Amino acid sequence: MSIFKGRAAQSAPLTEGPVAQRVLSFALPLFFGQLLQQLYNLADAWVLGNFASNEAFAAVSSGGSLTFLIIGFFSGTAVGGGVVISRYYGAGDENNVVRAIHTNFLFGVIASVLSTAVGLLLVPRMLVLMNTPEAVLPHSLTYFRIYFGGVFTVILYNICMAIMQSLGDSLHPLYYLMVSSVLNIGLDLLFVAVFQWGVAGAAAATVLTQGFSFLLCLWRMCRLKDYTRLDFRKLRLYPGILLQVLRQGLPTGVQNAVISVGNIAVQSSINAFGQYAMSGLGAYVKIEGVVFLPISSLSMAMPTFISQNLGARQYDRAKRGAAFGILSGMALAELVGVALLFTASPALRVFVSEPEAIRFGVIHARVVAPFFFLLAFSHCAAGVLRGCGRSFVPMATMLAFWCCVRVTYVTLAVRAFPVFQTISWAYPLTWSLSSVVFLLFLLKSDWLHTFDIGKHQS
């Protein structure tokens, strides 16, 4: 079955066809979509790195954890709606699919308003708490005030994308990202390189183009001809559906927020090494975000694949899909990690030219890249468990290790061994611990039979 024909272009069920082919055909547009999402960040980084100051680049590149703290909570919570929609869609329950779509969209509208308010209120204080250097702070304040002023566009696009993907349509969001990514690059060059607006131009370009992506998705959803069409007259928070969305999504939202708090705490230790450590690690993060995309796409495909098949009560098929996704993700991740070991220095030069910044980025890459297989296992296993309705397990595991253990380790270890490598080792250490827990849970628990769609009607 081609992903470019028939129902696959709109809402192809993942309950039919060869398992590996259906997982890959669904994950492939997710990969290209995530690649285009990364282009938003990469375009900002490249334009700022080449047409603005190192302080401007450091301001944008070091703020990923701060933005994810706010939008990660609300978007993560709303993603629970995708699991609910997929489960009802796999079960053929049209009435509850309609209710779940409209509940999730309205919840996204509310979340976007709250994100804007919380972001504008918290950003200045958080930047100070992160030990942002004085030379970088004004650039960071400018960027994040504009970004969070329009963050509703980011969240609403992600909500629409999650709804479309939960119905099996991972292709149309890709088309829309293609258009908006080209637009984003053009606006970045215009605002930063031509108008010399610096970080303000980069933030404005991101907000405007994300808003354009959202409008394209909304246009598509409102023009569908079947029962999955978005109808504003049906928007309401159906209590039973909302409870399921919160039950599935709130742990993910809390997980995203808490991990972000942990990363912010780690970022404050990184900031203490100076602006070159900030820009060097920021450049590395951009590179890792791109090279890890195939694995991220597989992990993102897992909740939809698993939940649709559990909704159809195809338990063996769900198990085979989980095994394929996890093993493929780990193999790809290790290949990527080995490649990154040999290409880190020239890759970093795409974003930063200062030798000291490149040195910090290479140090980090040499520590973490060999352990990418552990990161892949944790992400894919978490995706499987979310698809089963067990989102509390990834939340508790990542809260314990990726936040509490990571922050405790960095706080204590840097005092004893005040070198940059000490911070870098926090990542493979906590990936290892979370992988052990996920492995034990998948092997020992009856994770496939924990959710019965028939018990959760609205």
Q: How far is CA 344 from the centre of its chain?
A: 23
Backbone angles phi, psi at 344, to 5 degrees: -60, -50
Rounded CA-CA distance 42/47 in Å is: 8
Contact yes or no for 371/289 (Cβ under 8 A): no
- Nearest partner of 345 among 370, 330, 363, judged by Cα: 363
Rounded CA-CA distance 190/212 in Å is: 17
Return the residue matching tokens 């696959």: 8
Question: Three-state DSSP class for 309?
Answer: helix
Calculate ∠ Cα 450-453-456, nearest 5°. Answer: 100
- Domain-by-domain residue ranges, the chain? 18-449
Contact yes or no for 349/287 (Cβ under 8 A): no
3-state SS record for 176-201: HHHHHHHHHHHHHHHHHHHCCCCHHH
- Kindly tell me the burial class for residue 150, based on how many C-beta atoms sit within 10 Å of its own C-beta (0-12, 13-18, 19 or more): middle
Q: Which residues make Cβ contacts (< 8 Å) with residue 345, sequence separation at least 6? A: 358, 362
Rounded CA-CA distance 37/76 in Å is: 17
Question: Three-state DSSP class for 17?
Answer: coil
Strand (E) or helix (H) holding 70: helix 64-91
Q: Which residues make Cβ contacts (< 8 Å) with residue 355, sequence separation at least 6? A: none
Whole-model pTM: value is 0.71
For position 61, what pLDDT does the model report?
A: 66
Q: Which residues of 298-314 are buried (b: 16+ CB within 10 A; e: fewer)?
A: bbbbbbbbbbbbbbbeb
Per-residue pLDDT of the chain (458 residues; tens, 9 = 90+): 333 343 433 455 788 889 998 898 888 887 887 777 676 666 667 787 777 776 777 777 666 667 777 777 776 776 677 888 888 988 889 999 999 999 999 988 988 888 888 888 887 887 877 777 788 888 888 988 898 888 888 889 888 988 998 888 878 888 888 888 889 889 988 998 889 888 889 889 989 998 998 999 999 999 998 999 999 999 999 999 988 888 877 887 777 777 777 777 787 788 888 888 888 888 888 888 888 888 888 888 898 899 888 888 888 898 999 999 999 999 999 999 999 989 999 998 887 788 888 999 999 999 999 999 999 999 999 989 888 878 888 889 988 998 889 989 998 998 889 888 999 999 999 999 999 999 998 887 776 655 544 444 44
For position 458, what pLDDT does the model report?
A: 44
Rounded CA-CA distance 12/251 in Å is: 28
DSSP string, 368-399: HGGGHHHHHHHHHHHHHHHHTT-THHHHHHHI
DSSP single-letter state for residue 290 = H
